[in-house]
């Protein structure tokens, strides 16, 4: 079975890139503010519509860590732009339970919501180091969502495999998707392009673990694994999937497969809109 992949950016937040690149791994000082999209992803294939992650609205991001943030499109309207109505979603796959990936789950009560059991346990532990990302609202969502729990590698649908990639969180899962252009891998944790396609060396690193992690070595090994799972990695907070106005994949955006430095992308001023 083959699928097409449709990224939707619900919001953008202004962050320094170092937030997602483990400082000791990199040979230069990253001090560059960028707009990071809060992406969700629609997969279409075999008559099914699958949603990966459910995002948030800008106000929720600002409530957690007060970055600059802007809404791009409401959740329901964003789905509509890919030709999907909320009622037509067959399944939700959650990469991990951080606040920026789960906020619209209350709108999806009647479909399976698939997550690794380890991730639910990790989120409920709410360790002080990561408490902000599994905040009260996330706990409420976890407590009111009837999850379909998986443990380990799972072919959840023909052509879609879930693969545990601990590191960013303990129970994060990458999603490997068959497409007509090869296998695309949605990263199992928050990441940007450079995590998987680092700048040229020296030192030449195959991957850079994210700065947000519970274990840097595990995160590094999972990033290596993620890259090995397919032909291209689509990092969850990649803005490059929009930089050439490519809204539907495949073909994969060349900027994600190239080792060339990518061009800065300016997000236009977008008036804030209600989230739903």
**Positions that interact with Zn ion (CB under 5 A):** 98, 190
DSSP conformation class of 249: B
Rounded least distance, CB 188 to Zn ion, Å: 9
Which residue lies nearer to Zn ion by CB, 61 or 190? 190
Which residue lies nearer to Zn ion by CB, 15 or 98? 98
Which residue lies nearer to Zn ion by CB, 5 or 192? 192
Which residue lies nearer to Zn ion by CB, 98 or 104? 98
Task: Supply 136's token pair.
Answer: 């009260």
End-to-end CA distance of the chain: 32
Give the long-range contacts of residues 78-85, CB within 8 A, separation 24 or more.
78/8, 78/9, 78/10, 78/40, 79/8, 79/42, 79/51, 81/8, 82/6, 82/8, 82/42, 82/247, 84/42, 84/44, 84/49, 84/51
Rounded least distance, CB 93 to Zn ion, Å: 15
Rounded least distance, CB 100 to Zn ion, Å: 7
Rounded least distance, CB 55 to Zn ion, Å: 12
Residues in the chain: 276
């Amino acid at each position: 079975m083959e699928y097409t992949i449709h990224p939707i950016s619900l919001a953008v937040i202004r962050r320094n890139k170092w937030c997602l690149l483990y400082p000791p791994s990199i040979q230069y000082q990253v001090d560059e503010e960028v707009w990071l999209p809060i992406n969700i992803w629609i997969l279409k294939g075999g008559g099914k519509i699958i949603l990966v992650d459910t995002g948030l609205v800008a106000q929720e991001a600002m409530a957690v860590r007060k970055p600059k943030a802007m809404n791009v499109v409401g959740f329901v309207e964003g789905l509509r732009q890919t030709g999907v109505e909320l009622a037509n979603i067959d399944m939700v796959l959650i990469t991990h339970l951080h606040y920026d990936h789960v906020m619209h789950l209350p709108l999806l009560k009647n479909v399976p919501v698939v997550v690794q059991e380890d991730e639910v346990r990790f989120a409920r532990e709410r360790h002080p180091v990561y408490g902000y990302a599994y905040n009260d609202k996330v706990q409420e969502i976890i407590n009111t969502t009837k999850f379909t729990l998986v443990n380990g590698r799972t072919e959840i649908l023909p052509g879609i495999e879930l693969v545990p990639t601990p590191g960013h969180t303990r129970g994060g899962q990458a999603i490997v998707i068959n497409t007509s252009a090869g296998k695309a891998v949605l990263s199992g944790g928050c990441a940007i392009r450079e995590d998987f396609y680092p700048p040229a060396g020296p030192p030449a690193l195959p991957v850079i673990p994210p700065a947000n992690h519970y274990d840097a070595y595990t995160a590094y090994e999972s990033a290596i694994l993620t890259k090995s799972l397919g032909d291209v990695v689509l990092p969850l907070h990649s803005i490059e999937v929009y930089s050439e106005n490519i809204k539907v994949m495949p073909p994969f955006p060349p900027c994600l497969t190239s080792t060339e430095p990518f061009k800065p992308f300016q997000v236009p001023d977008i008036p804030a809109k209600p989230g739903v």
